Amino acid sequence: MKAMQKIKIAFALAAVLAMSGTGWAASGGPGISGDLNGPRNEVTLEVPVPAYQACDTTNTNQTYSVKAYIFQPSGRIFAIGISDPTSFTCSLTTEQLIGVLVKAFPGLTFKPGPATLLFQVTLTEDDGNIATPPVDTIIYEFGSRVDLH
């Protein structure tokens, strides 16, 4: 009977530790650096966009943009931020660092420390016909840790 009670206590302790956050978790390695503004509701950072083999810089009907999202849990609050699409010129041969500004949803703020960054690179093709809308295609998605400071 006492052994069963010890097992229950051990499971309860394990459950509490699992729900309490990242107390024993590894750091996960270095992340992308993000700069918080004073009110901590905006983050400025650069995302690495790889070379795109199908890039056609002479085609004026194609445009490229990157959109970033930041997620950061803090207790019972979950801060979420999103950037406006940031246009850039694609490259066939080199990785580019594209600067983006991620804004927290109204009423939410970020805190210094680690967060999760997701970003998408979108190719927009416009055939010039007013009757047909431009077509967006996500050509690259990536996730990373972002260190806010």
Q: Give the mean pLDDT per block of 10 residues along the chain (149 residues).
A: 53 45 45 95 97 90 96 91 96 96 96 96 92 94 95
Tokens of 14: 């394990």
Q: What domains lie within the chain, and their CATH numbers?
A: 31-148 (2.60.40)
DSSP string, 1-36: -HHHHHHHHHHHHHHHHHHT-STT----S--EEEEE
pTM for the model:
0.77
Predicted local confidence at residue 5, as pLDDT: 57
How far is 77 from 61, CA to CA, in rounded Å?
A: 42
pLDDT of residue 9: 54
